[in-house]
Structure 1
Amino acid sequence: MYKKKVAFYTIGCKLNYAETSTIARKFSNLYYQHVPFKSHADIYVINSCSVTKNAEIEFKHIVRFAVKKNSKAFIVAIGCYAQLNPKEVSSIIGVDLVLGYEEKFKIIDYINREWKKKYYAKIISKEIYFPSFSIGGRTRSFLKIQDGCDYKCSYCIIPMSRGPSRSDSIENILKNILFLFKKGVKEIVLTGINIGDYGKNIYVGNRRLYSFFDLIQAIDKIQEKVRIRLSSIEPNLLKDEYIEFLSKSKRFVPHFHIPLQSGSNDILMRMHRRYRRELYQKKVKKIRDLMPDAYIGSDIIVGFPGETHKHFLETFHFLKKLEISSLHIFTYSSRPNTKSSLIQENIYKKIQWKRNQILRILSEKKYRFFCKKQINTKKIVLFENNYHNKEYLYGYTENYIRTKIPLNLYNSSIYENTLQDVLLTKVDKDGIMIAKPIN
């Protein structure tokens, strides 16, 4: 029997990667052959993003790539872009089927049946939740614990593309963690759209059944030697009691990603963020007091409508003094049907680009400074599987420092997908830590 070749491509966040992996597992090996996206395939599934205009442009580029590989291939669009604008996505040359949030988890049904139209995308219900996790090809797994968002940040399209906040049960999350551990996964990243809001939709009568604190306490009791990371968590939801608990945790690593978006309170108000920079500063100090070596990453948006030079300088100087480890810099991208898209005070692209570059340089300096402080300290590195590199084997420390060991000195097969004690010795020109295993 001929097995149809199917290939997958993911644009966007860790949550998308978790869902792509879950959807890919629905294509049984009995009937389908999974191949790399760069290969000739009969079916291409592209998981899209709509956070920025560039993500939508990338989607169109990937569709063209698939068409060039096989002009007769069946191309399926899923993800946020597909949910938000199914009609627009379906009009892109090469796209054969568009599936929204709920429909993408029933992808086999849609592919196998006589479909009458090109796109399907229902409004996302607060009752609908699909557990997801990634597995295979990576040493770590992304595990979805929560989806959707009830926040109304003025620039953000995610509540429209992902729906209201809803969560998985603690029992199911623990079951999935144990399943992944038994499959050889050594590190799990808890992902979601707004993970600090975990449990918001789960009630018994009028009583909320779970909170985020309940979840992390339950996970920390797991006996298996698996390490857990948190993905991005809002500063106003990162309570002091969480930080105190995580500082003593047996399973959670000292790694935080806390979006700031702007160091100017005026801009934070325009963004409709639920905190001010003083709160953010307190959270960073709390972490540093309890976990001096913790990695703290942040997100910043530059060029938000009405961001003056003074506002940008406020952000720059605030970040410069802040004891964080690195920054993810995003240039503001106007999204349809958001409140910020109605603001007329747009910033010239040249100015946006310049501000982006200034903060990227600051981020590189901060990360290198953070790494240098770790030299001559002992850490635990999870080494990755080595598919191509002949010089080094790479991995991450518990506090998220990219680390490598030279293969001319160490046998990669011994260290791949293992947690190893190492001594950090030097930071190379690319900002990667060189280490020496401690036997």
Structure 2
Amino acid sequence: MPDLITHTKQDESRQGEAYSPFVHEPVTYGKKFYIESYGCAMNFSDSEIVASILNENGFGATKNFEEADLILINTCSIREKAEQTVRHRLQYLRGAKEVNPGALIGVLGCMAERLKSKLLEEEKLVDMVVGPDAYRTLPGLIEEATDGQKAVNVLLSREETYADIAPIRLNSNGINAFVSITRGCNNMCSFCVVPFTRGRERSRDTDSIIRECQDLFDKGYREVTLLGQNVDSYYWNNGQQGAESVTFAQLLERVALISPLLRVRFSTSHPKDITDEVLHTIAKYENICKYIHLPVQSGSTRILQLMNRTYTREWYMAKVDRIKSIIPDCSISSDIIAGFCTETEEDHQDTLSIMEYSGYDYSYMFFYSERPGTLAARRYADDIPENVKKRRLDEIINMQRKLSHESNLKDIGNTVKVLIEGNSKKSDDDWMGRTSQYKVVVFPKAGHALNKGDYAMVTVDDCTGGTLLGRIVG
């Protein structure tokens, strides 16, 4: 999935109140928790699971960490910069314990597994460390930490999917929601820590996914994003004789059939696993968004082999051709790494050219950051100077700006269907929403009785590099 190395403070409610997924009246809790999430969408989804577990055990959410009895940081290990950001934040929060000496600080997620000893013993930044598969044990770990013990559970599981837990939608706009369908990853990309921090791949049972999506729709949500490290490899069979098996394409269809008013997105796809069956299913249903995140990582076949991506440059380009053939209006985005081990200028130019060939609407772009424990760290020297990495990354970013602007210019004059997500950041007089292709559209409210969660037909009159500007028609 896109590795959005960003930091968002998450909260569910005010003053120790939270909303249960099963009742509509506010529930007052005896203790308060505060949670921040970093990294990919899966971490934000996990924080919603953690919130549900804590609610069931007497904790309500708060915006203010200074009044929290429990402070949690859900962490990312995908890049060194992400880990540094979390460390700095933990140091600050540790100092803030002077306001509330009894507060506990815990680290969740990928950094928890990788740096448990350092965080607990060497740096003494936290009171508890909880891995991605151990969130059910939080109540017991909190008790241990309250008694002064260093509470740790970073055991990985081959079965845990949290399928029976109804997530508490943290900081939700009430329109878009994440729904986890797989956990872990079996793709051993040489640069990636995910198989080591999140374990082996497993799929969640289909019925629980459909129930969650139906419940979200009934509560007014109008878009769900199906999440997994590699959603295309979703496969569910309960193991009983004669039981039906469900592929990702079949799951997509079942979610789409909940209602034509419910948009369906997914992230992330591995190029080797996205099938024609999936592409034809997307093309068949108007409410399955015409947007695929298809990470390339590099445009050089030689570098792709070092990355253990299991495809060549030519194979990837053929997959792009296939997507555009079956879904002509499909938007494609990507992940790109600059300066991987041994990367030459020729390899870098291959990346720029495959970007142009694919015509990405968006990309998540980083320079290579060696992660301890990965195959690349064990096998290859991180031999590209940082100034070269940064210069190549700048060129990749400039290429993507050009491609994004060109893509937006093509939409001028078109009328697009937009799901309204809320007010524009710049003005409450304008709505902001997204197209099926995930493009942001801003347009005036005046003269139209529309609300957040409604669909609007908007004619695009202008654009910036990242936003379409239009007006409601019809």
State TM-score, norm by structure 2: 0.85
The one-letter code sitting in structure 1 at the alignment partner of 2:457 is D
- The C-alpha deviation readout for 1:139-191, integer Å capped at 9, x for no partner, is 20011000111111111110010000001111111001001111211100011
Structure 2 Cα separation of the partners of residues 379 and 159 of structure 1: 39
Out of 307, 310, 316, which is 1:274 matched to?
Answer: 310
- The C-alpha deviation readout for 1:313-358, integer Å capped at 9, x for no partner, is 1111222222322221121111112121131251000000001110
The one-letter code sitting in structure 2 at the alignment partner of 1:431 is G
Over the aligned positions, Cα root-mean-square deviation in angstroms equals: 2.5
Change (3 A) 1:206 1:86: farther
Structure 1 Cα separation of the partners of residues 66 and 457 of structure 2: 38
Counterpart in 2 of 1:195?
Answer: 231
Contact kept, 8 Å, 1:143 with 1:190, in 2: the verdict is: yes
Structure 2 Cα separation of the partners of residues 243 and 388 of structure 1: 34
Structure 2 Cα separation of the partners of residues 246 and 53 of structure 1: 36
Q: Which runs of 5+ in 2 are unaligned?
A: 1-27
Once the two structures are TM-superposed, the CA of residue 287 in structure 1 deviates from its matched residue by 2.0
Counterpart in 2 of 1:87?
Answer: 117
Structure 1 Cα separation of the partners of residues 154 and 109 of structure 2: 13
SS state at 1:65 partner: helix
Contact kept, 8 Å, 2:367 with 2:393, in 1: the verdict is: yes
Structure 2 Cα separation of the partners of residues 241 and 419 of structure 1: 28
Contact kept, 8 Å, 1:166 with 1:201, in 2: the verdict is: no
2:85 is equivalent to residue 58 of structure 1? yes
Change (3 A) 1:365 1:38: farther
Once the two structures are TM-superposed, the CA of residue 18 in structure 1 deviates from its matched residue by 0.7
Contact kept, 8 Å, 2:420 with 2:452, in 1: the verdict is: yes
Counterpart in 1 of 2:130?
Answer: 99
Once the two structures are TM-superposed, the CA of residue 38 in structure 1 deviates from its matched residue by 6.2
Within a 5 Å distance, the mapping from 1:265-304 to structure 2 comes to: 265-304=301-340
Out of 52, 60, 74, which is 2:104 matched to?
Answer: 74
SS state at 2:377 partner: helix
- Quick one: percent identity of the two aligned structures? 26
SS state at 1:26 partner: helix
Contact kept, 8 Å, 2:119 with 2:125, in 1: the verdict is: no
SS state at 2:221 partner: coil
Contact kept, 8 Å, 1:18 with 1:134, in 2: the verdict is: no
Structure 2 Cα separation of the partners of residues 360 and 239 of structure 1: 29
Contact kept, 8 Å, 1:303 with 1:355, in 2: the verdict is: yes
Once the two structures are TM-superposed, the CA of residue 300 in structure 1 deviates from its matched residue by 0.8
After TM superposition, the structure 1 stretch with the greater mean CA deviation from structure 2, 315-324 or 34-43, is 34-43
Contact kept, 8 Å, 2:282 with 2:290, in 1: the verdict is: yes
Counterpart in 2 of 1:374?
Answer: 411
2:48 is equivalent to residue 10 of structure 1? no
State TM-score, norm by structure 1: 0.92
- The C-alpha deviation readout for 1:371-420, integer Å capped at 9, x for no partner, is 1111122222222234975343322111111111245x367x84323222
Contact kept, 8 Å, 2:178 with 2:226, in 1: the verdict is: yes
Counterpart in 2 of 1:358?
Answer: 395
The one-letter code sitting in structure 2 at the alignment partner of 1:438 is V
Contact kept, 8 Å, 1:40 with 1:70, in 2: the verdict is: no
Q: Which runs of 5+ in 1 are unaligned?
A: none
Counterpart in 1 of 2:436?
Answer: 398
Within a 5 Å distance, the mapping from 1:19-418 to structure 2 comes to: 19-28=46-55, 31-36=58-63, 40-71=67-98, 72=101, 73-91=103-121, 92-112=123-143, 117-131=149-163, 133=167, 135-136=169-170, 137-138=172-173, 139-199=175-235, 203-204=239-240, 209-223=245-259, 225-342=261-378, 343-344=380-381, 346-386=383-423, 389-391=426-428, 392-406=430-444, 409=446, 414-418=450-454
Contact kept, 8 Å, 1:181 with 1:224, in 2: the verdict is: no
After TM superposition, the structure 1 stretch with the greater mean CA deviation from structure 2, 102-111 or 364-373, is 102-111
After TM superposition, the structure 1 stretch with the greater mean CA deviation from structure 2, 220-229 or 301-310, is 220-229
Once the two structures are TM-superposed, the CA of residue 297 in structure 1 deviates from its matched residue by 0.1
2:458 is equivalent to residue 422 of structure 1? yes
Structure 1 Cα separation of the partners of residues 48 and 109 of structure 2: 13
Change (3 A) 1:201 1:79: farther
